Amino acid sequence: MGDFIGWLRQRLQGEHAVRACVLGIEPAGGDSVLLVLGEADPTGTADPPRIRARLNPAERSAIAAERGGTFDPASLVNRTVEIQLRTSLRQRFGRGAGVQAKVVGLIAVGDVPIEIVLQREAVLQRLRSDGVPFGPKTWQEPDDPYHVALIVSEHGDARRDVETSLQALEAAGLLRIHRIWAVFEGPSAERSLVAAMTEAEALHAEHGLSATLVCRGGGPVSAFGPLNSWAVADRAQRIPNLVCGLGHAATPRTALDEVASLSVATPTAAAVLIRDLAYRTAVRASRALAGFDQAVQDDIEKAGRIALARATAGFEEAVRLCLTEAEIRLGIVGQEIERSLLSSIAGLAIAKADGGAHAHDQEASPNLPASEVVPEEDGVALVIEAGTGLVMTSAAQAQQASHLMLQFLDGVVTVQVTSQSPTAH
C-alpha cells in the first residue's frame, strides 16, 4: 500500500481555476494577505467550509495591471469570484496534513454581494418551509386578459416602457390597466411595496385580475435589496399571475423574481408578454367567430334544404290532388259525353225502328182492319245496355246486362238490373 500523504500531494499539487466566495481578508505579513474562501453557492449556514489562499504583492500587482487600475483585495469580500489557485499539500506540525493555496490570478468578480444572495436564499427557504406554492408552476394563462394591475414607480422609465407597449390595446378598450404607484428604493421602499401588493390583491378580489406586473428600471445591485425582503416576498406569493420585469438583462435575480409566476428581463418584456396574451386571445376569438359563422351558414343551408324538401313535397301533393280532381272531373265529363252519345244513338235507333216498323206494318197488313192493329205505346221507346250501347230486343238480353238505359220519349234513365227468382202463383 502506497503512502497516503504522497498520494494526496500528487493530486492536490498544481494550478486550478475555482469558483468561490470571499468570506474575508486576513493580513499575512508585509503586503501579503490571505483570502478566506468559501463555497460559491450560499447555503445559509453560519460556518461554511473555507480555505485560506495567500495573495502576494507580485500577484496583486499583476491583477491590478490586468484590471486596468488599482486593486484592493477588500473589494472582493462578500462577492463570488473565479480565481486561479496553485495548491499543494503540506505537513503542519502537530496538526497533520493540510492544503495550502496561493492566488496566481483573478478571472472574474461577481457583481452581487454575497450577503444579498444569502438574504434571498434565506427568504426562499422560509417560503418553502411554509409549503405555499410559488414560482412558474403557479402561472395560469388567462383566456381573455382584460384587467391588469401595474405596480411601478410613478416617475421613471419603467412606466413609460410598459405604457408604450400597451397603449394601443388600452386605447382600443381591449385592456384596462390599474396603475399602482410604489417606491422601490430607500428606507420606505419595503413598506411601499407591501402596500402596493396589498392593493393589487384587493383588485384581484374585485375584478379577477388577469395578471399583475411589478416593473422597475435598472440600478445598482444594492438598490434591489427591498425586493429580497421577507415581507415583500410573502405578500407577493399571495397574488395570482404575478409577472416581474426588473432592471435589465444583467440584473441579478431577486427573491421577488423567484416568487413570481413569471419573471422576465425588463419592464418592456413584461408588457410584451401581456400584449402577446391579448393578441392570442384575439386570434382565438377570430377563429371562434369564423367557426360560428360557418356553423350558422351550415344551419341556414340545412334549414333551406329542409324547407325546399317540404315545399317540393307540398307541390307534389298539390299536383297529385289536382290530377285526382281532374280525373274525377274527366270521369264526370266522360259520363256526360257517353250519355249524350248514347242518347244520340238511341234517338237514331228509335227513328230507324219507327221508320222500319211503319213500313213493315204497311207492307204486312195493309188490309188489316183497324181493330187488329196494335197501337204504339207511349213511354219506353228503347232499351240500351249502358256499358256497350247495345239495343236490347228481348227480355233475355236485358236480364244478362247489369246496367240499362231506358230511352223515353222525353229523356233517358239509367237503371240497374237485378235477377229475381220466378215466383209460383
Nine cell digits for residue 20: 468561490
- Asked whether 104 and 18 are in contact (CB, 8 A), the reply is no
pLDDT grade for 70, boundaries at 50, 70 and 90: confident
DSSP secondary structure, 160-197, as one string: HHHHHHHHHHHHTTS-EEEEEE---SSTTHHHHHHHHH
Q: Is the pLDDT of residue 345 over 70?
A: no
pLDDT grade for 307, boundaries at 50, 70 and 90: confident
Beta-carbon contacts of 182 under 8 Å, excluding residues fewer than 6 positions away, are 151, 152, 153, 192, 193, 195, 196
More confident residue, 34 or 38: 34
Share of the chain above pLDDT 70, in %: 77
Q: How many Å apart are CA 195 and CA 255, to the nearest integer?
A: 18
* pLDDT of 424: 43
* pLDDT of 372: 43
Q: Is the pLDDT of residue 46 over 50?
A: no
Q: How many Å apart are CA 358 and CA 356, to the nearest integer?
A: 5
Q: How many Å apart are CA 406 and CA 403, to the nearest integer?
A: 10
153 phi-psi bin (left φ>0, alpha ψ -120 to 50, beta other): beta
Q: What is the mean pLDDT of residues 3-13?
A: 66
Sign (positive or negative) of CA dihedral 215, 217, 218, 222: negative
Range with the lowest mean pLDDT among 20-29, 242-251, 404-413? 404-413
pLDDT grade for 176, boundaries at 50, 70 and 90: very high
Q: What is the mean pLDDT of residues 124-153?
A: 90
In this structure, which amino acid lies at residue 249? A
Map out the domains of the chain with their CATH numbers: 4-112 (2.40.50.140), 118-282 (3.40.50.10550), 376-425 (no CATH)
* pLDDT of 365: 45
Q: Is the pLDDT of residue 409 over 70?
A: no
Q: Is the pLDDT of residue 110 over 90?
A: no
Which runs of E-coded beta strand occur in 2-60?
A: 14-27, 33-39, 50-55
pLDDT grade for 314, boundaries at 50, 70 and 90: confident
Beta-carbon contacts of 382 under 8 Å, excluding residues fewer than 6 positions away, are 346, 349, 350, 353, 391, 406, 407
Q: What is the mean pLDDT of residues 88-95?
A: 68
Distance from the first to the final alpha carbon of the chain: 161
Q: How many Å apart are CA 371 and CA 243, to the nearest integer?
A: 141
Range with the lowest mean pLDDT among 61-70, 88-97, 124-133, 300-309? 88-97
* pLDDT of 251: 78
Nine cell digits for residue 87: 495548491
* pLDDT of 206: 93
* pLDDT of 414: 81
- Asked whether 145 and 281 are in contact (CB, 8 A), the reply is yes
Q: Is the pLDDT of residue 239 over 90?
A: yes
For residue 79, the Cα-to-chain-centroid distance in whole angstroms is 49
Q: Is the pLDDT of residue 339 over 80?
A: no
Mean pLDDT computed over every residue of the chain? 79
* pLDDT of 413: 79
For 263-304, what is each residue's pLDDT tens digit? 999 999 999 999 998 888 766 666 666 766 677 777 777 777
* pLDDT of 245: 94
More confident residue, 227 or 360: 227
For 377-394, what is each residue's pLDDT tens digit? 455 557 777 777 777 777
Query: 3-class DSSP state for residue 282?
Result: helix
